[in-house]
Amino acid sequence: MNARVMAFKAYFPLIGIAILALFLLVIAPGALSSFRLNNLGKYCCYAIAGVGIGLAWGRGGMLVLGQGLFFGLGAYAMGMHLKLEAAGPDAVPDFMMNFGSGVLPAWWAPFRSGAFTIAAIVVIPALVALVLGLAVFKRRIKGAYFAILSQALTVAFGALLVSQIKYTGGQTGLNSLSTFFGYNLYDPVNKKMIYMITAVILIVMLLITFQLYRSRFGEVLIATRDQEERVRFLGYDPANIKVVAFVIAAIMASIGGAMFVPMAGLINPREVSALASIMLIAGVALGGRATLLGPAIGALVVGYGRTSLSEAYPDQWTYFLGAMFIIVILFIPNGLTSVIPKAWQALNRRRTDIKEVEAV
């Protein structure tokens, strides 16, 4: 294969992103009803978080079982802002009147500002991931330990959300939201706008990740996943590389969570639980953890499957999900997107075989 073809092949993923963008930004808004488009938007939020998981887990080898934590941080930050918007400029959210003292807690107050909220959606999860990542990776805590710890923290976060009903609305979470930065949430035009913003964010995240994978950082990240000791011997600090990937994944999950709120119209602890985190992982595993587009597509598929199958067959859905985990991880660990090129190769090989036979 000559150099030109190689260089061209490196841009193959961009074609994939372009096709996905065409589907999400042009075809879907035209073809789907407002309700279905809203659902697709929710799956896009999972996909945004999924792209981050692909980076941390697929490329970095860190099994981030607790992305629900970061999804939740972003979602609750957004939820708090929208809740304050719904309450009005000087009023207090309804649940605080019912369960709390009726006085807005000091740490809620800054979320009245939209700019602060947007900054918080990026900065808070980044800080949490930074501290946690440094604590874990600098001390060379094993991968399995990290997976368990991150899941444990998600469980703790969920328990905290449920118990601090005065501040978080408890089990019901933050609901009855009315506007999104001043735009009515129930106006179909605004709904479409929120969907478009989410879809554009997903495409942008894919492009950022595409660039990251091509960069030196992407190379070293893969090297760290495969041979951490050798990377250390070469003079890099694998902990720093892992922390960076983990922080980026956390920010992506948080942004996904933040956009989830206006589309779902609510956020509650169930959406950010350990099970929700595992669902995110399921999408990435199905799509292909180490590929660029696999995690996004997998998350869209699992989101769609969850809505359509779980409503029709709530019990069988669990079997289906469990079986999917077992089959995908056991037999196609590189995900569905890895099967297509392989099948294509196999097909081609057979063709050339036949040709060779004919030639003989």
Closest to other proteins by CB, 21 vs 155, is 155
Closest to other proteins by CB, 98 vs 164, is 164
Residues that bind other proteins (CB under 8 A): 61, 63, 65, 132, 135-136, 139-145, 147-149, 151-153, 155-157, 159-160, 162-164, 228-229, 274, 278, 281, 285, 315, 318-319, 321-326, 329-330, 333
Whole-number Cα distances in Å, 214 to 13, 171, 221: 11, 43, 11
State the virtual CA torsion across 301, 304, 305, 309 in degrees, nearest 10: -170
Q: Which of 10, 74, 79 is nearest to 46 (CA)?
A: 74
Q: Rounded to the nearest whole angstrom, what is the least distance from the CB of residue 333 to other proteins in the complex?
A: 6
Q: Rounded to the nearest whole angstrom, what is the least distance from the CB of residue 151 to other proteins in the complex?
A: 6
> Which helix (H) or strand (E) covers residue 180, if one does?
strand 179-180
* Direct distance between the N- and C-terminal alpha carbons of the chain, in angstroms, rounded to an integer: 25
Q: What residue type is 132 in one-letter code?
A: L
Q: Rounded to the nearest whole angstrom, what is the least distance from the CB of residue 176 to other proteins in the complex?
A: 24
> Which helix (H) or strand (E) covers residue 312, if one does?
helix 294-312
Closest to other proteins by CB, 119 vs 275, is 275
Closest to other proteins by CB, 62 vs 255, is 62
Closest to other proteins by CB, 63 vs 266, is 63
Whole-number Cα distances in Å, 13 to 10, 248, 283, 294: 7, 20, 19, 11
Closest to other proteins by CB, 190 vs 240, is 240
Phi-psi region of 170 (alpha: psi -120 to 50; beta: other; left: phi over 0): left
Q: Rounded to the nearest whole angstrom, what is the least distance from the CB of residue 42 to other proteins in the complex?
A: 22
Q: How far apart are CA 247 and CA 55, in angstroms?
A: 10
Q: Rounded to the nearest whole angstrom, what is the least distance from the CB of residue 211 to other proteins in the complex?
A: 27
Closest to other proteins by CB, 188 vs 322, is 322
Q: How far apart are CA 144 and CA 134, in angstroms?
A: 16
Q: Rounded to the nearest whole angstrom, what is the least distance from the CB of residue 269 to other proteins in the complex?
A: 11
Q: How far apart are CA 17 and CA 20, in angstroms?
A: 5
Q: Rounded to the nearest whole angstrom, what is the least distance from the CB of residue 242 to other proteins in the complex?
A: 14
